[in-house]
Amino acid sequence: MDKMIVKLIRKFKTNDPFTIAQGIGIHIRYADLGEGTRGLYFKKLRRRFIVIHDKLPEDWCRFVCAHELGHDRLHPGFNRFWLDEQSFFNAGKYERQANKFAVRLLTSGDSPAASDTLAELLMRNGVPAEMEKFYF
């Protein structure tokens, strides 16, 4: 995962998930996804899409984009809805991996200074505090 992230950052000269997604041909859309869904990733007719809930604050939009980008990079060919309905795979495992990818991408190139807390590092990089457990 870390090598993949470094390669993406080197290629696009940024850790911005929106720039990276656009650079690899993923279309980003915004829509009202309802109360319980922050974003989703899907493929249709060989086109890839990230859809982000249009009522999220900016830090969450950035995190959701990085998370869904993680699904594209880590889980090619998997569809979450298919996983839930048609298989015995643990979809939670894939969500944890995508969260870890997002946290590592967004904090790449930054590390806590001696006086920093992990919460300060995450805040500085726009990672929601709830994602602290995926840093390690």
Phi and psi at residue 33, to the nearest 5°: -95, 5
Distance of CA 27 to the CA centre of its chain: 14
Count how many domains the chain has.
1
At residue 10 the predicted structure's pLDDT band, cuts being 50, 70 and 90, is very high
Residue 78 within a domain:
yes
Supply the pLDDT for residue 78. Answer: 64
In this prediction the pTM is: 0.86
Domain of 117? 2-128
Residue 85, pLDDT score = 36
In a domain, 104, yes or no: yes
Does residue 86 surpass a pLDDT of 70?
no
Residue 94 lies in a domain: yes
pLDDT digits (tens, 9 = 90+) for 28-57: 999 998 888 888 898 888 899 999 999 999
Asked whether residue 133 is domain-assigned, the answer is no
Q: Is residue 36 part of a domain?
A: yes
The CATH number that applies at residue 7 is 1.10.10.2910
Angle at CA of residue 70, ends 69 and 75, nearest 5°? 110
At a CB cut-off of 8 Å and minimum separation 6, what does 66 contact?
17, 101, 102, 105, 106
For residue 134, is it within any domain? no
Question: Which of 133, 134, 123, 121 minimizes the C-alpha distance to 70?
Answer: 134
